Amino acid sequence: MIQARGASLVYYDHGREVFACRNVDLEVRPGEFLGILGPSGSGKSSLLYLLSGLKTPSSGDVAFDGRSVGDLNDEERSKMRLNDFGFVFQQPFLLGYLTAIENVTVATVGKAAYEEARELLDRLGMGEKSHRYPHELSGGERQRVCVARALLGDPMVVFADEPTASLDHANGSQVVHLLNQHRGSGSLVMVTHDPSMLAEADRIVELNDGMLASGHQATEVATGH
Ligand SMILES: Nc1ncnc2c1ncn2[C@@H]1O[C@H](COP(=O)(O)OP(=O)(O)O)[C@@H](O)[C@H]1O
Ligand SMILES: [Mg+2]
């Protein structure tokens, strides 16, 4: 479905090359919860940018259903991100002047989306608070609104970039659990530095200095799920 082959991402820092990802071979399989574990600065966010088509690899390739990201134009890539992918970030980015449910539907239109948003918020335990503004919610509740926004429209893949980093352990675990439980048939790709947040993952790969531990499938940690 998503396939990275020898993918590298290079940033230029005052003319100096910084390899954020180096020669990554990784596949996102349909319906799996893939955990990517790595310390701060190991290239986790950069790898998610590559896997979600937000950035094009400096070398190597990332392909979506067999189509190389380099062959997609900007419009095709943004369409893919909007329709097929959902995103949850470290900080719960919400618009302060919109209610919870308005934040969930902000990128979509129509009554159907609103109904779906209401149902999602309900399932995430936020039904009663769906008309509150972000400042009237706790950090964990705000992140649950972000989870609802990411799951709206049943995306094929949800990408989560350290979604628990701003939360305490209990709230963090709950957010991961809810993401995992309500993603339907879509895949979940989550990066984190905290192994305890990957207890429900089907597969875990480790990232260090932009490299998957020792390359490929051999580095996978079996989770028994
Ligand atoms: N825009 C940038 N310019 C230069 N270097 C960057 C930039 N963004 C990230 N980096 C570097 O790339 C490496 C990986 O960063 P990142 O993907 O954000 O790691 P993580 O998400 O695991 O903390 C780090 O060494 C970081 O300093
Ligand atoms: Mg990061």
**127-137 tens-digit pLDDT:** 999 999 999 99
Q: Is the pLDDT of residue 185 over 50?
A: yes
> What mean pLDDT, rounded, does the chain reach?
92
**Domains of the chain with bracketed CATH:** 30-53+84-222 (3.40.50.300)
Q: Dmax over Cα atoms in the chain, in whole Å? A: 52
Region of residue 47 (left: phi > 0; alpha: psi -120 to 50; beta: else)? alpha
Looking at residue 214, its pLDDT comes to 60
Looking at residue 222, its pLDDT comes to 53
Query: ∠98-102-103 over CA atoms, to 5°?
Result: 75
Q: Is the pLDDT of residue 170 over 70?
A: yes
Identify any residues that bridge with 13 across adjacent strands, giving them in sequence order: 16
Which residue CA neighbors atom 9 of ligand 1 most closely? 20
Looking at residue 215, its pLDDT comes to 40
**Structural tokens at position 32:** 């799996």
Looking at residue 219, its pLDDT comes to 45
For ligand 1, whether the C-beta of 192 sits within 6 Å is no
Per-residue pLDDT tens over the stretch 74-126: 999 989 988 899 999 999 999 999 999 999 999 887 888 999 999 999 999 99
Cα dist. 38→6, 35, 47, 49, 120 in Å?
Answer: 19, 10, 11, 15, 30
Q: CA-to-CA distance for 168 and 54, rounded, in angstroms? A: 29
Cβ count within 10 A of residue 204: 19
Amino acid sitting at position 17: E
Looking at residue 217, its pLDDT comes to 46
User: Residues of 15-30 as b/e, b for ≥16 C-beta within 10 angstroms?
Assistant: eeeebbbbbbebbbee
Give the residue-averaged pLDDT of 219-223. Answer: 55
End-to-end distance of the chain based on CA atoms, in angstroms?
Answer: 21
**Structural tokens at position 88:** 């949850």
For ligand 1, whether the C-beta of 43 sits within 6 Å is yes
pTM of the predicted protein model = 0.92
Q: What is the dihedral angle through the alpha carbons of 128, 132, 134, 137, rounded to the nearest 10 degrees?
A: -50
Cα dist. 127→110, 122, 130, 131, 156 in Å?
Answer: 19, 4, 5, 9, 24
CA 191 – ligand 1 centroid, Å: 14
* Percentage, residues of the chain above pLDDT 70: 95
For ligand 1, whether the C-beta of 39 sits within 6 Å is no
For ligand 1, whether the C-beta of 142 sits within 6 Å is no
Which residue CA neighbors atom 18 of ligand 1 most closely? 45
Looking at residue 216, its pLDDT comes to 44
Question: Look-up: residue for tokens 């309900």?
Answer: 122
Q: Is the pLDDT of residue 68 over 80?
A: yes
pLDDT band for position 64 (50/70/90)? very high
Looking at residue 107, its pLDDT comes to 85
Looking at residue 223, its pLDDT comes to 59
